[in-house]
Structure formats: structure tokens, C-alpha cells
Amino acid sequence: MVLAHAFGARYDLPVPLVYFVTAGAAVVFLSFLLVLRREVAAAAGPDEGDGSYVAGNQPVMAVVALVGLAFLVAAGVIGSQEIPENIVPTALWLVIWIAVPISCGVLGDWTPWLNPFAIVARAADRDGLRNALTGAPDTVAWRGAWWPAVVIFFVVASGELIYNGWATRPIVTGVGLAVYALISAVAGLVFGSEAWLRRGEMFSVLYSTWGRLGWWRFRRPGHRGFLGGLDQPFEASAGRITFVFLLLMSVTFDGLLATPAWKRFELQLPPSFSVGSARYVAVAEVAFLLLVGLAWTVFGAFARAVRAVGRIDRSVSATIVALIPSLLPIAFGYLVAHNFDYLLVNGQLLIPLAGNPFGRHGWQWLPAPFNDSYQVHKQPVPSAAIWYFQVALIVLVHIAAVIVAHRHLARATRSRQDAQRSEWPWIAAMVAYTMTSLWLLAQPIVKEPAKAAARPPAPSPVASTLPVDAGRAPPDTG
């Protein structure tokens, strides 16, 4: 069986969902009124340039990272091709893709010394090697801006959300890791590791972006404490803005795939557009791109309003960049809330997989419980607790976003009055996004109270199982 990004028994809300949605929006709006009149005295730190931190190789850490990468590639290529039996899909789609970014958002970006793709790029960045291969030691000037990271992130996110039935196959994952390591090595050789890792290598950009929220700075600019890296300006370029919007919209799209509206849309498609077909993939990819375009349109419109009301002497893109720090906590909160139960349930798969990571018969390395005798607890936390945690987290990160926006707009405007006026359009965007986020989070976990209390609920034949969500396909053990 393939466990998906889903929950156990659905939770019957004690009050209509609209009450939770409007109450969350009201709390965010009240927080805006409280911070509106606060003075902002601190100035932003010096602009040290946007981009990932390029660390030097630490021999022990580099060996550990490269051995780990080689192990995953080998497991994907020669290990069992049954998804539930091979550790590679879980390692990539649960640990590397979700757990590590969340850890960076809490701790800071601790990954530069253990990112194998950064290590191979730094190892390939040698004048002697370039001279031997091209006859000149000089690197090629980097002109890709942030777009390579944007494109790679979109491809990988699509693999998680859209064509996951193919992307989660162990050999596809293993070969994909090897190919990307080769791409990173070539990019480090041609462009130099600093240029590639700061703006092109997707994992470096991903982890460093989330790391701006974490407590420790790990040699990056900013002050210690949560959100301490947001004082460092983002680069005012279309690629950088698009990358942040992709962080926001990838989780939103994942939530959209779980809604009844999307399920009805799938049922209305012609038979040739069945889920998993090439035509369905194309339709879903277009929907994903449209969602990113919608983010550009909506937040761009609100940024124009902020710019006009606050009389800000900046371009629209520069205004969006000034407001992006307030979007990052929201994106992170939604990432955590949306994946909380997914990590709790599917994270347990690492226990039996650790005993036989290749999934080959007779290759068992560890005794029980590191084998198929381990039983995954499909509902380790009650659905009600998950729902209230999600609501509290989403409201909290939106409050943090209001505070961050207040701080940045106070620096961008010419007077305190202009700053206060400029915040009104943005709080409208925050309130609307709070309501949308809560509604999307509710779709796979809660149901409205029954309208006719006298009618007993029909028994559910799947109440004790974990329902499958087509939006994601991580592995299971059995």
C-alpha cells in the first residue's frame, strides 16, 4: 500500500468551519491594530547581498555527505524496486524535501557543510581542472540569476505533487540524485562554486531561504533569534520573487489537490485524462503554473496599492521584495501545518527501512523492530489536536507576518503616517490569505457538523485506515 499525505478518521468540528476561518482572520486583524501604532526605530543591517552561504569543505562532513549520497544512489539502482521496501523514496521526499527545510526554518541553515550537491560543486571548482579541460582557468560569467533554482524547484515539486507515481520509484529517485550531482559538479566547474551555490543550486537556495527564519545564523547576516535573517534584503529580481512564490504556492497547490473541488474536476475530465496519464500531468502542471502566476498577480496588485497609498518611491518589484519577508513566515507555517501529520505517520517508516534499506531479500541488517514486524501507528495524534495545532500555527505566523511587514514598511516610507496608510492594503491580503489557508487545511481532516442531529451517522468501512490522497505518494512498509 502507498501511504499518502492524509489523515486517519476525519474530525467533526464542534462549530461550523466558517467560524474558525473568520475567527482566525479576526485575530490577525486585531494584531494589526495593536502593532499599527508601534514605533520602529531599528534600521536594517548593511546589504551583504542575497544568496546562499558558500562554505568551505569540512573533510569529515564532506565524506559523510558523499557516502550518504552514494548510498542512496546505490539503493535506488540495485535495491528493490518496490516503493514500500526501499529507503530512497522516503529519504528524499520526506527527509530531504520536507524535514530538512523545516529544521532550517527552526534552527537556521545548518546544511552548507553537509549538502552533497554543494560539496561536489566546490570540489569541481578548480583552476587546474578547468585549464586541463578547456585550456583556460577562467570561469564563465554567471547570467542565470535565480532561474535555474526556480526551474529545478518546479520540476521537483511537480514530481512530489503531480507525477509522483513515477517520481517516487527507487531507480528514478536514485538516478535523479546522481544526475543532479553531476549537474552541480559541471556548474561548479564552469561557473565557479560561489556563483552556482548562491543562486543556482536549488537545495542551497531552498535551505538558505528557510534558514532566514531560524534561531541561529550559521555565519549568515542577521541577528540571532527567530526571523533574525529577514533584516537582510532580498534581491529585487523576478527570479528571486518567483522562487519565494513557488515556496508559497507549492504547499497551497498540495492543499488544493485534497479539496473536493479538485476531485470533482478530476471526475469531469475525459477518460484520456485519467490521473497519472500524460494529459492529466500536463493539465496539473498548467494549474500549478497558473497558481504561481496568480500569486504574482494578486500580491503584485496589493504591492501596487501599498506603493500608492504609502507614497513609496520604489518600483513595484522593489515593493514586492520589501514585503516578501512577511510572506516567508506564512509559507513556513503552512509548510509545517500541512505536513505535520504526514511527518508523524510516514516518518515511522524510517524505522523498518533502517533494518533493510535496500529492500532485498536476505539483506536484513538490524533485528526487530527494524524490520517488517514494525507496525506504523496511523493516527499517533488525535485529529482534533492536529486541527487545533494547525489553526494556532497559521494564525501565529500571520501575526508574525503583520509584525514583519510593519517593520519593513516603516523603513520604506517617508513618514510614520505614510507607513500606517501603506499597511492597510497588505493587511487585507494577509486576512484573505489567512482565511484561504485555514479553509485549505481543513479539507482533508475535518467535516462539518451534521445538519440533522437525529440521523445517526453511517458507519464508515475505512474509519480505521489511512485514506489515500492523490496529491502525494510516499512509501509504506506493507
Residue-wise pLDDT tens digits, 269-290: 999 999 889 999 999 999 999 9
Q: Among 299, 329, 294, which residue's Cα sits nearest to residue 429?
A: 299
- Predicted confidence at residue 245, as pLDDT, reads 94
49's torsion region: left (phi>0), alpha (psi -120 to 50) or beta? left
- Predicted confidence at residue 453, as pLDDT, reads 39
Average pLDDT rounded to a whole number, residues 219-230: 88
391: helix, coil or strand?
helix
CA distance 108 to 329: 13
- Between 54 and 348, the higher pLDDT residue: 348
CB-based burial label for 359 (10 Å; 0-12, 13-18, 19+): buried
Judge contact between 112 and 121, C-beta under 8 A: no
- Predicted confidence at residue 9, as pLDDT, reads 57
11 beta partners: 446
- Between 8 and 400, the higher pLDDT residue: 400
- Predicted confidence at residue 418, as pLDDT, reads 79
Q: What is the dihedral of CA 45, 49, 53, 57, to 10 degrees?
A: -120
Q: Among all chains, which residue has been given the C-alpha cell 523498518?
A: 352
Q: Give the best-scoring range by mean pLDDT among 296-305, 429-438, 441-450.
A: 296-305
Residue-wise pLDDT tens digits, 180-214: 999 999 999 999 999 999 999 999 999 999 999 99
CA distance 179 to 69: 12
Percent of the chain with pLDDT strictly greater than 90: 52
- With 50 as the cut, is the pLDDT of residue 233 above it? yes
349: helix, coil or strand?
helix
Residue-wise pLDDT tens digits, 60-107: 999 999 999 999 999 999 999 999 999 999 999 999 999 999 999 999
Residue-wise pLDDT tens digits, 118-151: 999 999 999 999 999 888 899 999 998 999 999 9
Average pLDDT rounded to a whole number, residues 378-387: 85
Average pLDDT rounded to a whole number, residues 373-394: 87
Structural domain spans, the chain: 1-44+233-450+466-478, 56-150+168-226
Residue 475's pLDDT band (cuts 50, 70, 90): very low
Which cell numbers in the block locate residue 237? 529580481
CA distance 30 to 284: 37
- Predicted confidence at residue 41, as pLDDT, reads 53
The DSSP secondary structure of 172-194, one letter per residue, reads: HHHHHHHHHHHHHHHHHHHH-HH
225's torsion region: left (phi>0), alpha (psi -120 to 50) or beta? left
Residue 448's pLDDT band (cuts 50, 70, 90): low
